Copies of this chain bind each other. A is one copy, B any other.
Amino acid sequence: MSDDGLRAGMAATNRIFEEEVVGRRDFGALDRVYTRDARILPPGAAMIEGLDAIKDFWRSSVEGMDVTVVRLITLDVTPLGDTAIEVARGEIETRGGAAPIPIKYVVAWKREAGSWRWHVDIWNASA
């Protein structure tokens, strides 16, 4: 796996989240974003394990906050074989929201079923 392959694979997965999950509210597309046994660590809540529970979380959050746009911006990546550690920032836009909400996050990526997916995903507010 070249570093180019990793970068391209990460970008492809991030576009699925931005365009399909958030853009089209297709929460089934999360099957191609997260690993089977992924975990997310959302602010203000307990850790959530497994794809079904993660889908419930995102459906409820995106619909509940009426999120219209998420932008994911990789700051740097440490490749570690079939794993990679990403430090990143993001912006969340909600319908009627005054300004994009800035966040930052760390994702432990894992190669699964031939694609790069989010295996551990933790974020928090930047302001």
The residues of A with any CB-CB pair to B shorter than 8 Å are 39, 41-47, 78, 80-81, 83, 85, 87, 89, 104-106, 108, 120, 122-127
* Min C-beta distance of A112 to chain B, whole Å: 14
Q: Which 8 A-B pairs have the closest CB atoms?
A: A43-B124, A80-B80, A124-B124, A106-B122, A85-B108, A41-B104, A44-B125, A122-B122
17 A–B pairs (Cβ distance < 8 Å), ordered by A? A41-B87, A41-B104, A42-B124, A43-B43, A44-B124, A45-B126, A47-B126, A78-B83, A78-B108, A80-B83, A83-B85, A85-B85, A85-B108, A87-B120, A122-B123, A123-B124, A124-B124
The number of times this chain is found in the oligomer is 2
